[in-house]
Every structure is written in structure tokens, then in C-alpha cells.
Structure 1
């Protein structure tokens, strides 16, 4: 069984209108800070680790730990707060993998702050691009030890990017399907009233 459904947890967003939420610079400034700080800390650790320690093992452990912490923060905290989305992957008894998505209801999604959303999505994409660039540099320098770190980072950041992108598309699809269902039910109700007259 997956984690509890997020629709029951809508109190994480204030009950303001979309206009009021977008007048505020950030609805969740601490979440936005840690969303970016985790990424910056991991990249700085990768770039500057040689200044503090000559040991590759220590550099590997520290950088990988920071990458893992960033993955966890994005997946379990900032995705919910900044964009109202959540994803996970279930593996059944047969070993088949299934993506699971949750999002706030459409009214709550409409109240998501634009700045929160912007910082969430752009930092995800820029972080991925930065790790790919660092992997290319490691290949060019024939520095295969540090290439391993970039591959780990690309794997985790790509998982978050893919998970949240699929989750956003699923939320949009459900919102559109809900709108079409509402319109068709109105049409059927109007037709029923006309038949009664």
C-alpha cells in the first residue's frame, strides 16, 4: 500500500486566493531555500572537496550523502510544499514497477505560488544540466573516479525530474478529464430538464 493520499492533507496551503498567493514573494521560503541549498551544497562539495581532503573515499561519501539528502528533501518535502505534487514508485511481487502520483485538488493547485513553482522547476532542470556538464568534464579529464559521483547524481536528480514531470502531466490530465466530466454532466442534466418540459 502506498503512502496516504495527499488530498486529505490540503491544510499545507493557506486558504488564500491565487492572486493573494502570487502577491507574496514565496509562500514557503524555508522550503525554497532548502530546495536550492541541497543542490548547491552537493555541487560545491563535488567541486571543492579536493581542497579539504585528499581522500577520494571521504569526498565520495560526503558528496554522495549530500546528493542523497537533496533527493530526499525534494521528493518528500519541497515537491509537496512548492508545487503540491508527490510521486513514488511501487514494485509488486513480480518485480514490476508502477509509478504512483498524487496532487492537490485543482482548487489547491490553482493557489500554488508562481515563485515557489518557478524555483522548484528551474532548480530541478538546472541541477540536472549541471551534473551532466560535470560528468562530461570528468570524461574529458579521464577522471573516472569522480565520474561515478556524477552518475549517482544524474540518476537521483533525473528520477526526481522524471517523477515530478510525470506527476504534473498526470495532474493536468486529471484536471482536464474532470473538467470534461463536469461539462458532460451539465449537458446531460440540461438535456434531462429539456425532456421534462
Structure 2
């Protein structure tokens, strides 16, 4: 069986780089340029290798290995490094003591200062979505041109990039759902309290009216 858990930084530390809190101007800049570079370079390298591999080698096995290595490096980098640094999200899977597969989705909770750069966030999400769209286009291209040996390569690209995209979407939406749940519970509690208070006042008024009669 599988289950998922949504956490925040207060529950499981994410060990982010310290923020200097320098204000809104810094949000427009790249605070982690090296992370942004590696977030893009492996993904772009895999796509370019798929498009241009025929110019460098006629060996399908060699091209396949090169593309899969680049995809694996991209998957590991995005999952373990750039997701935490650029957007404050993290996801992973582990098997608990009962043998159940647990999926954990974490979202950093902001505490007074915004530690994410708006530019880095846009680059992170845009590159994930664009890469997935490109691999899907490659999938249809392989099918229409009957290049079935490349079909497996494209499927690997879709699965690896799609796994990170799905995981981080779950982190993002999970945090919003948690906030919505807290707000709903808060409003429900206040509504119940006001209804209970009104009923108490009504009963008190009825008792006083009966006593006066």
C-alpha cells in the first residue's frame, strides 16, 4: 500500500541556505545562479542530445546511454537540490517499519521574509513544464515516423521529468490544501461557537421569562 504525507519546514527541517532578507529588489535577481545553471543544463543537454545525436554517432546504444545519463543527472539534481533552493519544496519516498510505501511532500513555511526569488521560481516551473511538453512532442514524433527504437528513450524522458513535475505539483498544491483546511476549520469553529452562544442566550432569555411569569 502507498500513502502520502504533506509536511512543512516546522515539522521536518529542509536545511535551506540562509537568506539576507535584503528586500524586494533582490527577488528579481538570481540568488542561486549555480543551481539555476545545473537545473537547466542537464535537461537541455538531454533534449539536444536526442535531437543532434545522429550527427556525432550512429550507434543507438551509445546515444541511448548518453541521453539516459543526462536524464538521470537532471532527475537527481532537480529532486535533491534545485527544488529546495529555488522554490522551497521537497518530495521523497521511503518504506516504513510496517513495509508500507510512504510518499512525503514538503513545503517550506515562510517566516516573515521571502526566501525565494521570483525569477528563480519562474525558471524552475517553466523549465519543468516546457521540458515535459517537448518530450511529449518527441513521443508523437517517434510514433508518426515509426522510429520505435527511440520510443523507449522518449518514454524515459517523460517519466523522469514527469516524476519531478508531479512531485513538486503535489508539494505546491498540498500546501495550499493544508492552508485551506486550516482556514475551514477555523471558520467552522467560530461559526459553531457563535451558534452555541446564540442558543445559550436564547435559553437564558426563556428561563428569565418563565421565572418572571
- Range into which the TM-score falls when normalised by the shorter chain: 0.7 to 0.9
CA deviation map 1:101-131 (0-9, x unaligned): 1121233784311111100001000000000
Q: Could you say which residue in structure 1 is the equivalent of 2:164? A: 160
Structure of higher CA gyration radius: 2
Moved more, 126-135 or 174-183: 174-183
Alignment of 1:1-197 (within 5 A): 7=10, 8-16=13-21, 19-22=24-27, 24-92=28-96, 96-107=100-111, 110-177=114-181
**Structure 1 residue ranges without an equivalent (≥5):** 188-197
Q: When the two structures are superposed, what TM-score results if normalisation uses the length of structure 2?
A: 0.75
CA distance in 1, matches of 2:16, 2:186: 25
**Structure 2 residue ranges without an equivalent (≥5):** 1-7, 192-213
Q: Could you say which residue in structure 1 is the equivalent of 2:201? A: none
C-alpha displacement at 1:173, in angstroms? 2.7
DSSP-derived class of the 1:106 partner? coil
More helix by share: 1
DSSP-derived class of the 1:87 partner? strand
The 1:19–1:146 alpha-carbon spacing in structure 2 relative to 1, beyond 3 Å, is same
The 1:15–1:184 alpha-carbon spacing in structure 2 relative to 1, beyond 3 Å, is farther
Q: What is the aligned-residue RMSD (CA, Å)?
A: 3.0
C-alpha displacement at 1:58, in angstroms? 0.4
